[in-house]
Structure 1
């Protein structure tokens, strides 16, 4: 079985890292097509031996990208095309239909209540999405929360399958030696209380609330992992708060484990998430987590993630202050990490591919 994963970009975002984590566990022969840019995740995927095809799309209205994608799909004769993220879903499903690909699947990672991938939802964005959804065979929702949002948009429940994101827990296990090396590299003393934020530096992530919480925390440092349009404003905000020397912008990194090992707590203040991969990765690394909203935790049975606590935005500074006063020890990975094992995700997706192709999965 030959599968082409089509994704909008391959910078170090959640969906992109999720695809990178998944690929080694799929038994199918996989290749990747990226519409725009290159990025650290593309380089990591290529180093693993998976071919990455660069479509060279220029802007949201570059319709020539559809033709280039369709020619790639016809020429390499894929059995399945699996698209990820809004733009790739719209263009990739159309190209796959033109290329007569037998099975067309999309994973919806980023539909929020009011935004999709950082863009405000409009009637035209929704209409285009629904029109392109009809060109595929099934849409995968990464959580029941996303499945409900898709259904409210108008996608029939019969065309939605929930396959949660997966995490390789062992790949994010805490490493004390790695913590020391990473802190030395970043210039952080061992006594510093390090608050971590992982994700795109975009408005919806609300990392500005973490910067505003810093001034009263004398020995705290904020380590932001990711890049995005808000970085200049966040840097300015740190200067205004007199905390610029206590905010580290680590940028995009393929080695999130090292940076999480250097942290003492992960803070995820977003109030609109579709899953929360960084939260599960942090739990695998033994970190306590303070979050605004996280379907990955909220969709599980009570007690599955005891290290993660939901905190209202106005109480975030108070909660961080309490943790800084009594830095917590590393926690054992909770049940949530096992429940979201990436191997389970890979198995579910491959069974889905085989079902769409009319083949029965073989038992091992």
Structure 2
């Protein structure tokens, strides 16, 4: 039976952090014995403990954080893991020494110097695996382990009147941190080119005031709802006519998987992750990055062709069922652990 020490030094919100919170309980259900070391976050710790997991909160500070190093080392000695899995550059610095297989999990194109103590690297897209090998990492020690999205099952749409949205309007839902990488300014410019279309934008971040000002400048503030961080993503997606991911930079695109799981038609900018996931015209539509006119045209096209929108949604759900369910991805993790542990 594999004993896994997971180390997560992430922020309060984010795609990797959300997937970590899905993966740890799923691995437990698959029989993987775990101990979790996480950056101090009482709410995350409570959620993981409620799932029956043993959690220790640490500072995960800078290079001079000797307390985290001592406590992480003590936890490893006490637990006796076969494998230690680090999420984020900062966590990799605190991987324990000794007779343990050290794995760095990457969800982006990070500087590999942070992972020099690792025996193996796992990445969540094929392109990222190729990039790691191109940096000189031995290809036989690079492994593709995709993310999975939670299957929402039947979700009840949110009432449109709750967000002052007409019942007959085309409703776009977008999810993510309000950060330049996410391209939400491009989505707002596209929305300005299409009458009768509303946007529910769920997320928070440093660009909120700037995006609100842009919506006002474009004359679409009455059609955009800034919802902040939400914990009812399945209901938001169930409410949508279209899901849009306009990211300039998106190594994977967890949100695409979530929209597929919810059987929503997806339009995405052709950044790294979505362009690997989506076969444009089959299970979604891809448009050039930073091209608001192309994005507006794609939205207008699916709005005018509900039959194609439904076909894309059905094919996206089929792609999710084939490769990105909890069962499929956890099986890959379990096989990987069995193969690399000493």
| TM, length-normalised to structure 1 | 0.80
1:309 pairs with one of 268, 273, 285: 285
**Mapped contact 2:9–2:60 kept (Cα < 8 A):** no
| 2:140 aligned with 1:152 | no
2:332 pairs with one of 308, 328, 348: 348
1:245 pairs with one of 211, 222, 229: 222
| 2:73 aligned with 1:70 | yes
Between the aligned partners of 1:206 and 1:301, the Cα distance in structure 2 is 18
Between the aligned partners of 1:255 and 1:340, the Cα distance in structure 2 is 20
Give the length in aligned residue pairs: 329
Between the aligned partners of 2:238 and 2:287, the Cα distance in structure 1 is 23
What secondary structure sits across from 2:5 in the alignment? Answer: strand
Matches within 5 A, 1:1-364: 1-26=2-27, 27-37=31-41, 42-58=45-61, 60-64=62-66, 65-89=68-92, 91-93=93-95, 96-97=96-97, 100=98, 102-111=100-109, 116=110, 126=111, 129-130=112-113, 132-168=114-150, 171-175=151-155, 178-179=156-157, 181-293=158-270, 298-299=275-276, 306-312=282-288, 313=291, 314-325=293-304, 328-329=309-310, 331-332=313-314, 333-338=316-321, 339-358=323-342
| TM, length-normalised to structure 2 | 0.85
* Aligned residues: CA RMSD: 2.7
Runs of at least 5 residues in structure 1 that lack an aligned partner in the other structure: 117-125, 359-364
Between the aligned partners of 1:306 and 1:72, the Cα distance in structure 2 is 48
C-alpha deviation, 1:166, in angstroms: 1.9
What secondary structure sits across from 1:351 in the alignment? Answer: helix
**Mapped contact 2:45–2:57 kept (Cα < 8 A):** no
What secondary structure sits across from 1:229 in the alignment? Answer: coil
**Mapped contact 1:103–1:353 kept (Cα < 8 A):** no
Between the aligned partners of 1:161 and 1:322, the Cα distance in structure 2 is 38
**Mapped contact 1:9–1:37 kept (Cα < 8 A):** no
**Mapped contact 1:12–1:254 kept (Cα < 8 A):** no
C-alpha deviation, 1:101, in angstroms: 5.3
Q: Cα distance 1:295–1:215, how it changes in 2: closer, same or farther (>3 A)?
A: closer
**Mapped contact 1:32–1:52 kept (Cα < 8 A):** yes
